[in-house]
Chain A
Amino acid sequence: MKEISSAIQLIPLEQYVMLSVALFSIGMMGVLFRRNTIAILMCLELMFNSVNLLLTAFSAYHSDPSGQVFVFFIMIVAAAEVAVGLSILVMMKRNVDSVDINLLNRLKW
């Protein structure tokens, strides 16, 4: 426990910020890049997780457990979101027999 506690003293918080920003950008790039709806949902998970990592890092560096409770709630919301998103995907596959996100472009208007 003591040794792990000294681990976060060696790594500056800025590096965790950089890591989360990189992961978030990769997730956003994936959402713009892919056409497969299931891959887009996975990239959304990636973005959720980068925010979780950032909240945990701030919580650990400020010795405040509230941030970790927030991460817990974000995990709850992510689980609910994935359940609904995947059921929408199943319905879309059943109705139009494709997982192409471009077929949903009428949702824009």
Chain B
Amino acid sequence: MIFLFYMLSAIMIICALAVVFSKNPINNVIYLIVCFIAMAGHYILLNAQFLAVVHIIVYTGAIMVLFLFVIMLLNLNKAIILRKSKVTRITAVITGGIFFLVLVAATRQTFEIHPRYPFASDIGLLTQIGKVLFSEFLLPFEMSSILFISAMVGAIMFGKKDEH
């Protein structure tokens, strides 16, 4: 199990770095899909089976297909030479590294995490999530449909050609 955790983590980190550093947009999408599948594995390790399935369906099934669709539609599938200046790129890497170090130091020193034992193994199942979702979080759940409608209307408005 520990081996599985480290292997999935290594796959995720390497693929995330590949997303940042590879030039071809198609390769970026493929690496991101691999990263998301590894993340679904993490969800299964964490006993969140419902989230693992939803993650596969929503992210790899819908969002990444949307990305691929846009890349195909806009004909971006060749490696575009769009690079920031060398100074900006080096600064970006240094900033990311320093941000990582600061967050690691902060989480190491400022608080201790006390997990609650024993772990309940059924909180990630569909019945449990559904009970919470439709009792405690019913209003946000309904509001999210309004969010979706407005996002859809906005996307159509942006995508429409101007007639005048």
The interface of chain A, by Cβ under 8 A from chain B, is 1-2, 4-11, 13-19, 21-30, 32-36, 38-39, 41-43, 45-46, 49, 52-53, 56-57, 59-66, 68-69, 71-73, 75-84, 86-91, 93-94, 99-100
Contact = CB atoms under 8 A, between A and B. Distances in A.
B151 A84 contact: yes
A24 B66 CA distance: 22
Contact of A63 (B36, B71, B123): B123
Given A15-B9, A49-B39, 7 more contacts: A4-B47, A8-B45, A9-B119, A39-B25, A42-B67, A56-B42, A59-B48
Interface string B1-17: 11011000100110011
A75 B137 contact: no
A108 to B, nearest CB: 15
Contacts of B73: 90
Interface of B: 1-2, 4-5, 9, 12-13, 16-17, 19-21, 25, 28-29, 32, 35-36, 39, 42-48, 50-51, 54-55, 58-59, 62-63, 66-67, 70-71, 73-74, 76, 80, 82-84, 88-89, 91-93, 95-97, 99-100, 103-104, 107-108, 113, 115-116, 119-124, 128-129, 131-133, 136-137, 140-141, 144, 147-148, 151-152, 154-156, 158-159, 161
A66 B158 CA distance: 35
Contact of B84 (A19, A33, A60, A65): A33
Nearest to A9: B119
